[in-house]
Structure 1
Amino acid sequence: MGNALFVVWRESVEAMLVVGILYAWLKQNAAPGGLRALWLGVGSGIGLALLLGWAMLTVQDELSGEALEWFQTAILFVAAGLITQMVLWMAKHGRHLKGQLEAGLASATERGSWIGIAVISALAIAREGAETVIFLYGLGLEQGDGSALAIGAAAGFVLALATAWATARGLRFLDPRRFFQISGVLLLVFAAALLVAGVERLIGMGWLPPLAEPLWDSSALIDDTTAGGSLLASLVGYRAQPSLMLLLAYLGYWGAVLTLKARLAR
């Protein structure tokens, strides 16, 4: 529930930030039909994200056995990759996001194209929505509790509305830049947990060797089959009895992420 809340919160805040930028520019520049095009694009973007979710569930229902196992495992890796890519992309382009969106709107307005305005907003919202759908599907595979996932997602959306309101009001306690920095780190932790789950599935299917199993046993301290241990496992990828392959995958992920972040910083 906690990671679903956080993922939906972060993604929804980002989507609302994009809509806010587009709305403010269109209000200031009085583009003919611009606001109608904006809301049409927002609705279309949400619709595309929902269509993706429906397609994934439909494919899942059509598959069984090893094919279903492969599909679900692939989604875990896709979700981990998307989270990582999104966080690194925001670290590199976040400061220029407002300028890029406004330049696109200016170009569409000069051409008198309300379709261009709708497409810009639709693509921006569809991207955030598609990422959220894939993240939630991956989290659902890990947690297996659909009701808790739905409650967490709903709570995350409500929290995002409160955050967007606070940002619009210019409340000093909320620094958007710091929010995205901290939330980005937490999202990378979630991505590592999804990666571990995917590698564990590949080991269970016999496609990856465990190499050495277990490397240690910390069940006496925190057992990952208990409620607290299971929560820790889904949040950060904790395993009480990890194999060497799991450890290498975890360390390799963080090594690659830290290297890329260092390059972006330079």
Structure 2
Amino acid sequence: MTANFLIGLREGLEAVLIVVLLLAYLAKTGRTSLVPRIFAGIFAAVLVSLGFGALLTFGPRGLTFEAQETIGGALSILAVGFVTWMVFWMATASRSLAADLRGRVDRVADGPAWGLTLVAALAVGREGLETALFIWAATRATGQTWEPLLGALLGILVAVALGMLLHQGALRINLSRFFAWTGAALIIVAGGVLAYGIHDLQEAGVLPGLHALAFDVSHVVAPGGWIATLLKGVFNFSPATTWLEAAAWVLYVVPVMFLYLRRVRRGRLDATAAPGPPQPAAA
């Protein structure tokens, strides 16, 4: 539940920030009459995301066990790819996000009504589709149903509340630090989802080594106990892990975390080294 709360909070806050930036720019430029177009785009994005989540949940039913495990494993790996791209993109694009959105609004504001709606739908829908896919993959990895969904919903609700406070100027957050820390945490979560996706493909017979265990601590961490449930919910940890799962986790988390932290550090150094406004000449 904790991991899904983090996913909902992180992705939800990204989407909410986009909406806040769009609404603030429309208000600043005297285009408040266009606000309903933004909300129409948001509504469309939410519907598409919910439909995508329903398709992921109910689509594979009726297929053979091997087919379900193959689809589940492949989509879990795809979800890991999306979340990896997302955390790296946010680490570099956050500084230019506002300017990019303002440029898009200026290009379509005076055009057809659907133009601005499409901008909002695409900006928010991207986050919604990524959230649906990754939450679905994380839910499969934990083997639970309602707890992960509840955690994600709570995260999204907290993100919406924070966005409202930010929009009203009642709250200030160091967003670069927030996204840096949550990005690092999501890489750990993604490593667990990747390992579970590998396990799915092993169960489907696509990959070998299902019974070749790297370790089995089931006698210490009972699979049905509260410790195993907690570790599964936060880190997608399995007491019995195959060599292929363990190798996938290490080969993903270690280099990706290193590259991500280096990207974050480089971004902070660039921001520190950026020249300030020109100083007036001495008289």
Whether these two folds match at TM > 0.5 is yes
Stretch moving more, 203-212 or 126-135: 203-212
Amino acid at match of 2:113: W
Give 5+ residue unaligned stretches, structure 2: 267-283
Once the two structures are superposed, residues 29-84 of structure 1 have per-residue CA deviations (whole angstroms, 9 ceiling, x without a partner) of 12374212111111111111122123223422342332222111222112222111
Structure 1 consecutive aligned stretches of length 4 or more whose deviation exceeds 4 Å: none
**SS of residue paired to 1:95:** coil
Amino acid at match of 1:233: K
Q: Do the aligned residues in 1 keep the contact of 2:69 with 2:201 (CA within 8 Å)?
A: no
Query: Per the alignment, do residues 16 and 255 of structure 1 end up closer, same or farther by CA in structure 2, a change over 3 Å counting?
Result: same
- The 5-angstrom pairing of residues 154-169 of structure 1 reads 154-168=153-167, 169=169
- TM-score between both structures, scaled by the size of structure 2: 0.83
Aligned length in residues: 264
1: distance between equivalents of 2:178 and 2:262? 22
**SS of residue paired to 1:222:** coil
- The 5-angstrom pairing of residues 239-250 of structure 1 reads 239-250=238-249
Q: Could you tell me which residue of structure 1 aligns to residue 100 of structure 2?
A: 100
Query: Per the alignment, do residues 234 and 151 of structure 1 end up closer, same or farther by CA in structure 2, a change over 3 Å counting?
Result: closer
- The 5-angstrom pairing of residues 1-266 of structure 1 reads 1-31=1-31, 33-109=33-109, 111-168=110-167, 169-172=169-172, 174-210=173-209, 213-258=212-257, 260-261=259-260, 264=263
2: distance between equivalents of 1:225 and 1:136? 22
- TM-score between both structures, scaled by the size of structure 1: 0.88
- Aligned CA-pair RMSD: 2.4
Q: Which has the higher Rg, Structure 1 or Structure 2?
A: 2
If each structure's helix is expressed as a fraction of its own residues, which one has the higher value?
1
Identity %: 27
Q: Do the aligned residues in 2 keep the contact of 1:224 with 1:232 (CA within 8 Å)?
A: no
2: distance between equivalents of 1:216 and 1:42? 46
**SS of residue paired to 2:94:** helix
1: distance between equivalents of 2:115 and 2:259? 34
Query: Per the alignment, do residues 243 and 153 of structure 1 end up closer, same or farther by CA in structure 2, a change over 3 Å counting?
Result: closer
Stretch moving more, 132-141 or 120-129: 132-141
Once the two structures are superposed, residues 160-186 of structure 1 have per-residue CA deviations (whole angstroms, 9 ceiling, x without a partner) of 2332234333535x3222111111111
